[in-house]
Amino acid sequence: MSISTNQQRTPGESGPVQAAAIPAWSAPVGTWRMLAQRRHAPKLPKGLDAAWDSAVGLFVPWVPRRGRFLRRAERILALESDFTDQTDPALREMARELRGVFRLGREQPADTDRAVALVRELARRELGLNPYREQAAAAIAMIHGCLVELATGEGKTLVATMPAVIAGWRGRGCHVLTVNDYLAKRDATGLRPLYDACGLSVSWVDGQMPPPQRREAYASDITYCTNKEAAADYLRDRLQMGRLRGLTDALVAKINHGGMGGVDRLVMRGLETAIIDEADSLLVDEAVTPLIISSEVPNDEQTQAFEQAAQVAAQLKSAEHYKVNLKYRDADLTRVGKARVVELCDGLPGIWQSPRMRDELIVQAITARELFLKGQQYVVQEGKVVIVDESTGRLMPDRSWRHGLHQAVEAKERLEVSPPKDTMARVSFQMFFRMYRQLSGMTGTAWEARHELWQVYKRPTVRIPTHKPCVRIQHRDRVFGASEGRWQAVVEEIKKIHKSGRPVLVGTRSVEASEHLSSMLLALALEHEVLNAVKHEEEAKIVEQAGQPGRITVATNMAGRGTDIKLGSGVAEAGGLAVVSTERNESGRIDRQLYGRAGRQGDPGSAIVFVSLKDELVRKYAPWLARRAARRAGDREVSRWWVHRLFNYAQARSQKLAQKQRKSVLKSDDWLEENLGFAGREH
């Protein structure tokens, strides 16, 4: 049995885990509460309800929440004098009293204000950090269940401590969810002095923890972990429960059989409160990724069929035998292609005699060949296909594509084809997050997705202003007819900025692009660091140094997200960090995440993007206009206004399509929950 995101995720180990090998332990704290409070995610509204919900969603973001939260933050700051003169023991006693108030659920708005003010003072004493007005306002917004847009560098990690403390005081557990294990451990250990002063326990969960340690981590008042680890442990617990549907079933099983019916092996104590860091990444970008528990089903005939399909697909010609749709990322055989496939497969045994199975295998092989490219969607390490997250550029060794696509890519690369898998249980991250009773989050880029965040999660989005005015210079996009001209212009821009002594952060969309740019910089003897999916372990250290004078850092998308780039000596005077993007992303939010690396907390900085009319974005979502403009431009730079707007148009179409796909996943989740139930198998 293995647990997977997008097919293969194994919490606790790097490889598959046999269910029988999981040791038994006593029921964790809160197990009975978990059974009693078992929830299902709310279903999407239908018909007139859906129309009304969409209409409400248009107005929700414009409710004047920001001013109210900022005024309340002013009142919290006015309470500062009540705490600054207190001794440390006195503050801890205040924390104990407030914990009793929140544990009983008797808090008033004044109690919440005092709690935030107390945490501010303890943060100043224990961490040397004093949350300012905007951070306090963001914390109040999250306490009220909002998703907060707080610019990069505004201290989101510290903001999360205030709602986390209040959730911890309620005694039902609080999960602070972030994007990787490194950040989970860093934040849990770094913030422990503050939580200790508040009378709370804190821990973290990472991919290497065995079940007993996970149980202890979830028993803490506050648990830092990734969304993948939390969802994986939720699925494992649901499987351990078997046919038990809640508290009543568990009690009956205990009375009748004298056992706990698998409840004694649970690691979580329920889904009560979640605070999501980088909320747009987890709630939107990764929302369509299902997390799956699967078991290998060896099938030599099927494994051999993937290899044979790759050989047949290699003999087919694009346009003549098949057509590829870049926008929808799929392929179809033409009439001539189907006839050619029949010829090439003549004499092959078994499933090749079925026309439907034959065509499906060939289309899968064509898809792997044309749409899944080495260095972009995946890399090969130690004889294995390792998926690259296209949103972050990070390696995902614990993932595999579903429905035979992973095996098709392995066959294309002539690697050992892994056995097919049988799905035992699944949950999408959209459904998983909606099962929490209390949900809030923060990110630097959420406003563009505000309507979707309301419709899916019923959480309003609030934009909190920066503590200091943003003085980053946003240059106009530079558009080129072909990629060669774009890359030459990027290198010239890097050389110019480097001579001024400013650090440069260059963002690329793929591992292949980062390596290509690196080779060009090496040819000019420009020393630089390359931060891509292949160097995942070094990313935090490299990003931390990216603001030093004269430093050149080439990174895939938002690798190192969550790590601050602080300016070195003299950099601010020289103009600050310069961000150079080599391509537009399919979501404008990801572009803004990259630009936001410069100009944090009032620092100077600049951002510019270089694009080509041959880029995948416009080829997929505005192909006719892109071809027309490219023919006229050649390899030159283009300055026409409509060409610049072409990329905005393509990006808008991409975002609309992605939103439709996420909505279809929600509908699929509702159907599976209603018709198959949790224990149903997906074949």
Q: Is 477 helix (H, G, I), strand (E, B) or coil?
A: coil
Task: Give the span between the Cα atoms of 45 and 38, in whole angstroms.
Answer: 21
- CA–CA separation, 314 vs 596, rounded Å? 43
CB atoms within 10 A of CB 467: 16
> Helices 483-499 and 511-523 meet at what angle, rounded to 10?
60
What CA dihedral angle connects 672, 675, 679 and 681, to 10 degrees? -70
Residue 38 clears pLDDT 70, i.e. is over it: no
139 burial (CB, 10 Å; 0-12 / 13-18 / 19+) is buried
Mean pLDDT of 283-301: 79
Higher pLDDT, 139 or 33: 139
Output the CA torsion sign for 282, 288, 294, 300: negative
CB atoms near residue 658 (< 10 Å): 18
What is the C-alpha to C-alpha distance for residues 5 and 228, in angstroms, rounded to an integer? 7
Nearest to 325, CA basis, from 317, 333, 336:
333
Answer with the residue of higher pLDDT: 40 or 68: 68
The whole-model pTM stands at 0.83
Q: What is the DSSP string of 608-652?
A: EEEEETTSHHHHHHSHHHHHHHHHHHTTSEE--HHHHHHHHHHHH
Token reading at 161 = 């401590």
Q: For the stretch 37-71, what's the b/e string if a residue is b when 16 or more beta carbons lie within 10 angstroms of its beta carbon?
A: bbeebeeeeeeeeeeeeeeebeebbeeebbeebbe
User: Residue ranges of the alpha helices (H) in 500-553?
Assistant: 511-523, 539-544
> How far apart (Å, rounded) are the C-alpha atoms in residues 238 and 270?
11
- How would residue 260 be classed by pLDDT, with cut points 50, 70 and 90? low
User: How many angstroms separate the CA atoms of 666 and 171, rounded?
Assistant: 31
Percentage of residues in the chain with pLDDT exceeding 70? 85
Q: Residue 152 above 90 pLDDT?
A: no
What confidence score (pLDDT) does residue 237 get? Answer: 87
Q: Bridge partners of 441?
A: 147, 276
Class of residue 240 by CB neighbours under 10 A (exposed 0-12, middle 13-18, buried 19+): buried
**Statement: residue 2 has pLDDT above 70:** no
Return all residues near 597 (Cβ < 8 A) that are at least 6 apart.
152, 505, 546, 565, 577, 579, 605
pLDDT of residue 247: 59
Phi, psi of 247 (to 5 degrees): -65, -40
Q: How far apart are CA 175 and CA 270, in angstroms?
A: 10
pLDDT exceeds cutoff 70 at 17 = no
- Among candidates 550, 546, 537, which has minimal Cα distance to 565? 546
505 pLDDT above the threshold of 80: yes
Domains in the chain: ranges and CATH = 2-292+430-463 (3.40.50.300), 298-419 (3.90.1440.10), 473-654 (3.40.50.300)
Give the model's pLDDT for residue 462.
Answer: 95
Mean pLDDT of 89-97: 96
Predicted confidence (pLDDT) per residue in 337-367, tens digit: 999 999 999 888 878 888 899 999 999 999 9
pLDDT in tens, 397-452: 778 887 889 999 999 999 999 887 777 778 888 889 999 999 999 999 889 889 88
- The residues, ordered by sequence, that sit 6+ positions from 221 with a Cβ below 8 Å of its Cβ are 168, 169, 171, 173, 174, 195, 200, 201, 202
Do 428 and 289 touch, CB atoms closer than 8 A? Answer: yes
Write the DSSP assignment of 379-406 as a string of letters.
Answer: EEETTEEEEE-TTT--EETTB--TTTHH
First and final CA of the chain: distance in angstroms?
15
Amino acid at 461: T
Give the pLDDT confidence score for residue 189 in this predicted structure.
96
Of the pLDDT bands very low, low, confident and very high (cuts 50, 70, 90), residue 207 is confident
555 pairs with which residues across the strands?
507, 531
Highest mean pLDDT among 388-392, 397-401, 468-472: 468-472
Reported confidence tier of residue 518, pLDDT bands at 50, 70, 90: very high
Residue 301 has a pLDDT of 83
Residue of 512 and 131 predicted with greater confidence = 131
Tokens matching residue 173? 């557990």
Given this model, what pLDDT does residue 291 score? 82
CB 478 within 8 A of CB 640: no
> Residue 508: which of 388, 641, 645, 381 has the closest Cα?
388
